[in-house]
Amino acid sequence: MLISEALKLKDKAFISLVGAGGKSSILQILTEELSEKKKRIILTTTTKMFTDQVNPFLEEGQAIESSNAQVIEENIKSYFQQDKNGIIILLNQRLIENGREKFIGPKRSYLNYWWREGLADFFIVEADGARGRPIKAPTYYEPVVPKMTTDLVGVIGIEAIGLRLGEENVFRSSIFSRLTGLKWGKKINTEVIVALINHPAGLFKNSPKFARRHLFLNKVNNREKDSIATEVAIQVIMNNQARISDIIIGDTLQKDSSILKVISGKIT
């Protein structure tokens, strides 16, 4: 099953990715899937993103790099007038962090406006940062989710289970401790994961009211992890305080079979 199928995407969608443990790989795979369907796609971030994570699309698509919103809009329209489908990457500014290049995207207010104007069929936005950790808790200004988001994908790397709470394993570890009740140095378990998912200031913080919420439990690559992820899913949907539409279990490192199962957010 494709990720776009697991998300039950229709002809158009504004997809924002939050959390940790595979946002960029989901963005890459989803872009590849939708490009094969001959769609107009815009990729960007509302935070910071490593430039090399979009390099494959810089080669086959069109990079629009400007701090001027009007210039960006004119270039988007021009590109899609020449090619009725394709990929555009929006870059506002480049910077170097720890020896690697990152880029910042346009303000989310512009993304909201361009979506309303119908400039593309799909917007795919990385709306959160995690410093490479498998799990995180959002600080006061995170995640940076555009309000026109139709599908919010909250990502957790299942390899976080069994890790001890500390900044080396959990981004924003002190906030994580406050939200979940887990003490410093204690191991993360399924109950802790569920607490993060369900907390109003947790994984789905800042979700637009009418956006569909998808939970993606990633890096599930063996039976043990599948069992753990399934247990998390069951606990989440028992009360579903986060109002999740569905729970996707898979491993985006395995592109040919990245989705293992999809569980409805409703108990039947």
Q: Is 184 left (phi over 0), alpha (psi -120 to 50) or beta?
A: beta
Contacts of residue 68, Cβ cutoff 8 Å, sequence gap at least 6:
none
Q: Where are the domains of the chain?
A: 3-264
ω into 143 cis (within 30 of 0): yes
- Comparing C-alpha atoms, which of 88, 70, 91 is closest to residue 80? 88
Each residue's pLDDT tens digit, 35-74:
999 999 999 999 999 999 998 888 777 899 999 999 999 9
Q: Give 199's pLDDT tier (boundaries 50, 70, 90).
A: very high
Return the pLDDT at 268: 47
Q: What is the mean pLDDT of the chain?
A: 93
Lowest mean pLDDT among 10-19, 43-52, 80-89: 80-89
Sign of CA dihedral 56, 59, 65, 70: negative
Q: Which CATH architecture has domain 3-264?
A: 3-Layer(aba) Sandwich (3.40)
Sign of CA dihedral 252, 253, 255, 257: negative
- Distance between the two ends of the chain, CA-based, in angstroms? 22
How much is the average pLDDT of 156-167?
97
Q: Give 257's pLDDT tier (boundaries 50, 70, 90).
A: low
How many contiguous H segments (helices) and E segments (strands) does the chain have? 8, 14
Return the pLDDT at 43: 97
Structure tokens at 140: 């006061």
Return the pLDDT at 173: 97
Please check the confidence at residue 267 and state whether its pLDDT lies above 60.
no
